[in-house]
Structure 1
Amino acid sequence: MRIAVAIPCYKVTQHVLWVISAIGPEVETIYAVDDACPDGSGRFIEEHNRDPRVRVLYNPENRGVGGAIVTAYKAAVEDGMDIVVKIDGDGQMDPALLPLFVRPLLQGRADYTKGNRFFRPESVQGMPPVRLFGNAVLSFLTKLSCGYWNVMDPTNGYTAVRTCVLAELPLDKLERRYFFESDMLFRLNTLRAVVRDVPMDSVYADEESNLKVGKVLPEFLRKHCSRLWRRYVYNYLVRDFNVGSLYSICGVLLVIAGTAFGVARWLDSSLTHSPATSGTVMLAALPVLVGIQFLIAFLHYDVSNVPTEPLSLSLQTQEQDAQ
């Protein structure tokens, strides 16, 4: 397997050379992507780096971390790499963990691996409580919108992916900035790719995050709702129509019908000043309760429907058959 590393470079001149030097010999190529860095990260690397594996790529304008990684992904696919590992250049991701991210891909147990800083209690002791709570909320939203109920820490950028899977993704449609990791999971789910978490510890350097929670929260909520709706329509109405589809449709219709009937009876009772009978209350409550049970059954079905068979194995089989 030919393994490459992608390093997005934006204001990382203080740490990027250490990151490059810590990458092991199992890696064949290192793509350092200068994302229109005002500090000239690309030129800095070319002038001071002595590792022959490094190849500096330049984006003509700042495209965010997603745009930088997409540039490296395209280069890796063109160069015939088999696996691409994404490591940030700010020193917060230990390159020594790279074999742990690559191993499930080499063994054919996954198509995409990502870090999880919440696997061990000791790993989160140094994490601020607000950040811990925010990541927990984002993790639940991502599980709901992307369908990977088995993963945690969705904003973790330490990832590894098979290039044969990348070739199936619409790379130019991926989100370019802070929503990149979540959008990547959404796109992978549409392909039924297998995603696995890799336990890792939190490391905080002296770099400050540009992510402002208050500013991006409404945007994140809107994009998660959009991905949830698109995933549902694609997986349960277009590509397949299964028992989960029936659970969800019946559940929504029953909840709406029961709620509408109850509101109508309540308004009628308020206007006529006559209390509703117990039978009327039951006619309103029963569809809502049954509908909620249907929606819970749909959620259970969705959780059990997480992809388990790696896409890369079927893609390799197709390639061998074609040859």
Structure 2
Amino acid sequence: MAGPDEGQRTSVLLPGERLGLDLDERCPEFEELLLAPPLHGIRPDGHDWLRQRYEEIVPLVLPAALRAVEHGEPVDRECLARLRTVAAASAGDPRVDVSVVLRGALPAIRVFALVMHTATRGRSVSPDHAARTMLAMSRASLVAHELGSCWAEAWARERRRPVAAPAAQAAPAAAVTTGEIDLVAGAPGLDETEERMLALAAHGLSNEQIAKETSYSRQAVAWHLGRLMRSWKAPNRTAMVSVAFVKGWIRSRCAPRAAARTWPPELGSGSGPGPGSATELGAGSATYDDAP
């Protein structure tokens, strides 16, 4: 049996191929919408905070984000570096809840979907154009997730910088020495093993590295950390650690300079991916192993 007419087949764009939608030339249109983002689904007490963050972030990242979607390229490294700087600067603001941070990219995805829908509404759209629009939505979701994760990681890293504490304050049971910093973990419902695993995960160790330090199997580590993610409704390890820092279940304290062992560098240090770590979309900002 003869196949369908070749002229009616929908072309498939591979990653790295230009969409032909001229998205990177439409910055003013997107910027106007993003500076008044749709905030339904975001905690009402976080609306003002998130609007202020969009006012800071949109001018910095929008051109690079649209280019990444249009051309299928990684987000520019300099753009990500600027985003981390802005995130760190806002970490001292006490008004924000972690749920607002983790959902911060949703308004941007909604704006992109609205523009794509408006561009095709009431028009006769060819199969080829429809395929390009769907691919644009897929790429935009990945780019928004990448930018949101990059922001949240830098924000969480800055939030966990050590602060002065009363000398008599008792530390949680599980402590991990990391050169000049101790991370101590303690949360309701966690046993000593899970507290130690959580502290090690906060320093960016992979499941395999945590298994070696705790004498558990890699599968057991994945099970314990997976239980914490499910219990705290965290979609990945980055979110799990962010929740723990914000809730005060992980804290930092100074430790002797001559530590017995040196761990991998701090979260988001830009040193490159390690074993089991998750990398940025086509870039190289490795931090956590998001798989349990």
Q: Given the two structures, how large is their TM-score scaled by the length of structure 2?
A: 0.31
Higher strand share: 1
Relative to the length of structure 1, the TM-score reads: 0.28
